[in-house]
Structure formats: structure tokens, C-alpha cells
Amino acid sequence: MSDQNTKNRILEAASRVFCGKGFKATTVRDICAEADANVAAINYHFGDKRKLYIQVLKSWMDGMFKDADRLNGITKTSTLEERLRAYIYGELRALCTYDDPEKIKKSKIRLLFEEYVSEDCDPELFKCHEEIDGELLTPIIRELLTPIEDEEILRQAHMAASGVLVHHFLGIIHYPEGEIESKEKLEFMADFYTTFILGSLKAIKEKYHAQ
């Protein structure tokens, strides 16, 4: 078996074990048993448990981005509202449980947030989301708030808009009612948050453009 096959097998096995037990409770021996590999193979391909964990989290992030098309249905003629809704819809796809009865995505989200707030968080891990935010959400907010040009207001508006979605992600960790258990609820939540954020941006524009 090739080195790449062994590396992939370890990564897939580690993903299952970390998802079920978390980082601290997982041992290298647990991963070895799940992957049918030895400690030397893990050290060779990943260095140590922490580095392997980061690679697992990165694979989760990559998977979520592939599953969440934030430009679904968007064309050159799409309105700002349609672009905003597509972005929100894509973000919320990561919360859906109707296609994830074992709620694996929920466990992954919890561990990703734990890593995000940890003191030794790898900043590169979440850079991909920051870049997509900058490419898709920031231009929408800037256009919706035109003619406001104050960078501090624009930055705070961006943080507030994305923060609403982050809060929902955090909420489902402890409150199951926040889970999206049907396609109908996904559509409802996308509409709700689009309306909420649009209303908030309208109020910001009216307040700060008048000053």
C-alpha cells in the first residue's frame, strides 16, 4: 500500500475518532486502532497528534465549503438581496440535520469553534472562510450601505451581519431547536436572516448617512 493511501486512511480514521471523542480524549493509540496503523506511520505522515488534528479540522472546513455553494443560482443580473440570501443559505447548509441524522456536522462545528477560541489556534485554519467573507459578503454590505464610506461603520456592519450567523452556529451546540431538520426550515431560516440583516443594514444606513 502506498504512503498516500496510508496517509489518507489515517486521516479518515482520525476524523471519525476526533469527531466522536474530541481532541483531548483521543489518544494516538485510538487512531492507530481505527486506522489499522502504527504510531510510527502517524509520526511519519503528520508529526504528532496536534498536527494530525489540525489536518482533520482543515479537511472538515474544506468539506463544508464544497457542500455550501454561496453563489447558488446567482447570475450577473441577481440583486443584492438575492446575493445576500445565497450567501446566508450556503452558510446555513452546514447546520442541516435532515441529511445528517447522526449529527456529525454538529460535532464538527463544536470542535471547530473550540479550536477557534483556543490560545494556540492556527490562524491559517480559518483564513479560507475570512477570504470568502471578503470576496462575497463585504462587497454586498458595501453596496447596500452606499454612499457611506466610513471604514469603521462598514467593518462593524460586516461583523454584525456575519455575527448573527455565527451566533446561530453557537446556539445549536446547546439548543437542539436551532438545528435545521428540514429543507423547509432551511428556506425559512435563509429568508428570516436575509430579512433581518437587510433591515439592520437599512437602519444603519439611515442613521449614519444622515449624520
Return the pLDDT at 210: 62
Q: Before 147, cis peptide (omega within 30)? A: yes
- Same domain, yes or no: 80 and 170: yes
| Number of structural domains found in the chain | 2
Are residues 160 and 81 both part of a single domain? Answer: yes
**Res. 13 pLDDT band, cuts 50 70 90:** very high
Q: Is residue 62 part of a domain?
A: no
Last residue of a domain, one of 32, 57, 82: 57
Q: Give, in order, the Cα–Cα distances in Å from 14 to each of 17, 70, 117, 177.
A: 5, 29, 22, 29
Answer yes or no: do 118 and 24 share one domain: no
Q: What is the pLDDT of residue 2?
A: 63
d(CA 74, CA 67): 16
Same domain, 33 and 79: no
Looking at residue 28, its pLDDT comes to 94
> Can you give the residue range of the structural domain that contains 37?
3-57
Q: pLDDT tens digit string along 45-95?
A: 999 999 999 999 999 988 887 766 787 778 889 999 999 999 999 889 877
Please report the pLDDT score of residue 211 as a whole number.
Answer: 58
CATH of the domain at 7: 1.10.10.60
